[in-house]
Each structure stands twice: as C-alpha cells, then as structure tokens.
C-alpha cells in the first residue's frame, strides 16, 4: 500500500461512501468516486479535491452491466489499474418493509443493487485487482444481515426494525462474500464484510446515531489490511459479528 494505491468506492457521492473516499484519499491514495448521477458525482469529486484528495469520477450504476464494464475499462485505461474496491452502494428498497406487505418489486430492487450489484462490480474489477500487489475488497454489509443477531432474544443489537427487503439482502451478501473468500483463498486478494453501525444518512432518514465519518472507519480499516490480514470475515468496529 503506497501513494500509488488506487481505490474505487461505489456510491461515494454521499453518506458513508463519501467519507470512505475521503479517508482513503487522506492516506495519499488515488480514489475513484463511483456514482450514478453526473452532477452528484462531480460535486463530490470537487469537494474531495478541494480537501486535497486525488479524486476522479467514475460513472457507475451498479445495476447496469454495460456501465460497470465501462467503469472497469475507464479505470484500467485512464487510471492504470485498481488495488482496492469498496462496494458501498446500497438501498433499502423503500417502505413498507413488513414481509406481509413488501412488494416483490421492492425486494427485487434491493437484491439487484445490494447483492447482484456487488457481484457485477467485483467480477468486472477482478482482472484489474488480480494484477495488484495487495488487492483488497470490502463489501458494506450491516449487522442486520446477521441471522444470529436477528434471532437472538438476549442481544440488544438484535432489536431492529422488521425488514423484509433490506436485511435479507445483507444476509445474502454475506453468504456470497464467503463464497468469494473460498474461491480467492489461494490468491493475495483479501475480501471482507464491514458493518458501519447505525449511521445518520439518507438511507434511514438521518435517524442513525453515528456520523458518516465514524461509519466509514470499518471499511477504511478493511481496505488497508496488511498482507497477513483476515479474509472472509464479517466485522464492525468492535470486532467480529456472528453470522
């Protein structure tokens, strides 16, 4: 990991993703701001640059096959490679979330972004990551994806809203990430899941109790793991999360 390290953060135009980009940029890394809206992306890139970050914009809608392939091409051709990928983009799927009321379209949208979007981006970026000396992949999950916590009766962290669309996507993302870790175990790629805690962002109508900067910490720490760091793990600031 050096000043030549290049990172891509998806959904980096606001919230936790913006702060992950800022934190990685503060280490002297070159940071790609993946965002689907041109105006929001350019505003974030400008703000990061004004704060001294070597930021560049990457047009990226994680649900779009051709767009994700084009993003990989842009990063390779214009910026020379990729060392670190942070899959941060995510949606709740909207309300209601009671499983008796949630629509199949809501569930499909949440899976499309939170799970298939991550798979799409990882697979497009893997050829670049494989050429890196210290590749890292961080998937932004959530503690609400933990089946252990969802079913615990004595764990205060288990108390969360009923979530028929959103929480299951994070469980699915956890399961898929384990499979990536198994496939990539004999490579130098470390892939891990991070939970930012309950953070005040658009995602939850700013009801969270942590700042986006605090929420970004776990992803930054997993993005900057040493070569002998863990892979296939599920972490929050306090340590491992039970599956």
Ligand X SMILES: NC(=O)c1ccc[n+]([C@@H]2O[C@H](COP(=O)([O-])OP(=O)(O)OC[C@H]3O[C@@H](n4cnc5c(N)ncnc54)[C@H](OP(=O)(O)O)[C@@H]3O)[C@@H](O)[C@H]2O)c1
**Minimum CB distance to ligand X smaller for 107 or for 134:** 107
Q: Tokens for 218, please give them.
A: 């776990």
Q: Which is nearer to ligand X, 28 or 237 (CB)?
A: 237
180 is catalytic: no
Please name which of 230, 241, 213 lies closest in space to residue 20, comparing C-alpha atoms: 213
DSSP string, the chain: --TT-EEEEETTTSHHHHHHHHHHHTTT-EEEEEES-HHHHHHHHHHHHHTT-EEEEEE--TT-HHHHHHHHHHHHHHH---SEEEE-------S---TTT--HHHHHHHHIIIIIHHHHHHHHHHHHHTTSSS-EEEEE--GGG-HHHHH-SS-GGG-----SSHHHHHHHHHHHHHHHHHHTTTSS-EEEEE---SB-SGGGTT--SB-HHHHHHHHHHHHT--TT---S-EEETTEEPP-
Candidate list 166, 172, 180, 234, residue with the active-site label: 166
- Encoding tokens for residue 97? 């979330």
For residues 69 and 77, give the distance between their C-alpha atoms in angstroms, rounded to a whole number: 12
Q: With respect to ligand X, which residue has the nearer C-beta, 132 or 142?
A: 142
Q: Which of 204, 194, 174 is nearest to 93 (CA)?
A: 204
Q: Which parts of this chain interact with ligand X (CB under 6 A)?
A: 10-11, 13-17, 35-37, 40, 60-63, 88-91, 113, 117, 140, 142, 195-196, 198-199, 201-204, 208
The nearer residue to ligand X, 135 or 196, going by C-beta atoms, is 196
- Give me the least distance between CB of 186 and ligand X, in Å please: 28
Residue 57 Cβ, how far from ligand X at the closest point, in Å?
13
User: Between 39 and 226, whose beta carbon lies closer to ligand X?
Assistant: 39
- Known catalytic residues are 166
């Amino acid at each position: 990991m050096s000043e030549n390290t290049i990172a891509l953060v998806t959904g980096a135009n606001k919230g936790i993703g913006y702060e992950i980009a800022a934190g990685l940029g503060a280490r002297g890394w070159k940071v790609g701001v993946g965002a689907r809206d041109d105006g929001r992306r350019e505003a974030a890139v400008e703000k990061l640059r004004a704060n001294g970050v070597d930021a560049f914009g990457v047009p990226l809608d994680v649900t779009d096959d051709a767009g994700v392939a084009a993003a990989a091409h842009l990063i390779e051709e214009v910026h020379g490679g990729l060392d670190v990928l942070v899959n941060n983009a995510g949606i709740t799927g909207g309300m209601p979330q009671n499983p008796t009321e949630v629509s199949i379209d809501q569930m499909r949208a949440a899976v499309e972004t939170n799970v298939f979007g991550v798979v799409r981006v990882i697979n497009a970026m893997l050829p670049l990551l494989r050429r890196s000396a210290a590749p890292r992949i961080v998937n932004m999950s959530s503690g609400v994806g933990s089946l252990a916590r969802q079913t615990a009766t004595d764990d205060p962290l288990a108390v969360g809203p009923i979530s028929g669309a959103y929480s299951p996507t994070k469980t699915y993302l956890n399961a898929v990430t384990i499979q990536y870790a198994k496939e990539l175990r004999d490579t130098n790629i470390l892939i891990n899941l991070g939970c930012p805690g309950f953070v005040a962002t658009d995602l939850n109508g700013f009801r969270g109790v942590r700042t986006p900067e605090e929420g970004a910490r776990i992803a930054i720490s997993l993005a900057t793991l040493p070569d002998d760091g863990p892979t296939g793990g599920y972490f929050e600031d306090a340590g491992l999360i039970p599956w």
